[in-house]
Structure 1
Amino acid sequence: MDYQFQILPNAELQNIVPLVYELNNGKISLDVLQSRFKEMQQQNYECAVIKHNEALIGVTGMWFCTRHYIGKSAELDHVYIQSEHRGSGLGKQFMAWIANYIKAKGYQSIELNTYVQNYPSHKFYYNEGFQILGYHFLKKI
C-alpha cells in the first residue's frame, strides 16, 4: 500500500479533527476539538500525518519544549492510526519517521502519554524502546 508521512501545515489542522474525534470515541465534541486545535495553531505544536491515497488515516501531534530532566524534547500527543491500517508495521514506520524528523530539528528525546487501559499501545511503545518514567496526573480546575 502507498502511504505518505508528512508534516501538516498548521493552517490545515482542522483536517485532523475527525481522526482525533475517532481516537476519543466521540467523548470530546467536534466543536470543542475544532476550537482547541484553532488555539493550538498559535502554540509550539506541529502535527505529523499519514496519508493513504490522499486520505488522512493517521495522526500525531508534537509539542516541542526543553525540559530540565531530559533537555530538548518532543511530546507526542493523540497518536492514532485508523484500525483498518493497523497490524502491518505502519505504526513502526511512522514512529521511525517521527524520530528522524524530531532528531533533525535538534531534539534529543521523545515523550508521550498513553491511557492506562490501552494495553496494546503499551506493548507497542515498549517494543519501540520507550520506558515508563512516571505517572501523568490530571486535575481539572
Structure 2
Amino acid sequence: MQITFKSLSKEEASIILPYLDIMNQQKVPMDILQARFEEMLSQNYEAFAIYDHDQLIGCFGLWSMTRHYCGKSLEPDHVYIEDAYRSKGIGATLFQWIEAYGKEKGVTTIELNTYIENFPSHKFYYNQGFVARGYHFLKKI
C-alpha cells in the first residue's frame, strides 16, 4: 500500500460524490447533494481524496474557522475509507496528517462530529486523542 492524501480543486471534487452519497443517511437526492457540495467548495472548505497508489479509496473534507472558545480550528468532515481498507492504520495516518496540516496553517484545535450510533468511530476518535465535549443538536426548519 502507498497511501496519499490529495487536495481536490473545485473541478476535481465531484469524484468523491459517490462516497458522500454512501454516507448520506438523510437520503438527500443526488442533485441536491451535488449542489450543496458545490456551495461548500465556495466556503472555508477543502475536499480531499485518499488514494492507494492511483486508486481512489476514500475521502474527507476540512472546514477551517476561528472559534471564540478555542481559536483557529479545523473540522474534519465526511471521513470515508472503503471497507477493504479499514483497520489497516489508514485512519490513524490520516489524522496524523490532518494534525500536521493544521499546525502548518496555525490551527490550535481539531473538532469533529460523528453520529451517535457510530460506535466504531467513537472508539477510533478516543484512540486518536479526541475527547467528547458535547452533543451536536439539529433542528430542521
Residue 53 of structure 1 deviates from its aligned partner by 3.5
The amino acid of 1:80's aligned partner reads Y
- Number of matched pairs: 141
Residue 48 of structure 1 deviates from its aligned partner by 2.4
Residues 115, 26 of structure 1: alpha-carbon distance in 2 compared, 3 angstrom cutoff = closer
> In the alignment, which residue of structure 2 is the partner of 1:78?
78
1:40 aligns with 2:40: yes
> In the alignment, which residue of structure 1 is the partner of 2:116?
116
1:20 aligns with 2:20: yes
Q: Which runs of 4+ in 1 moved over 3 A?
A: none
TM-score by length of 2: 0.93
Q: Which 5+ residue runs of structure 1 have no aligned equivalent?
A: none
The amino acid of 1:115's aligned partner reads Y
TM-score by length of 1: 0.93
> In the alignment, which residue of structure 1 is the partner of 2:66?
66
Bigger shift: 10-19 or 112-121?
10-19
| CA root-mean-square deviation | 1.4
Distance 2:132 2:26 in 1: 28
Identity of aligned residues (%): 51
Distance 1:111 1:49 in 2: 20
For residues 63-85 of structure 1, what are the alpha-carbon distances to aligned partners after superposition, in whole Å with 9 as ceiling and x for unaligned?
11100110001111111111111
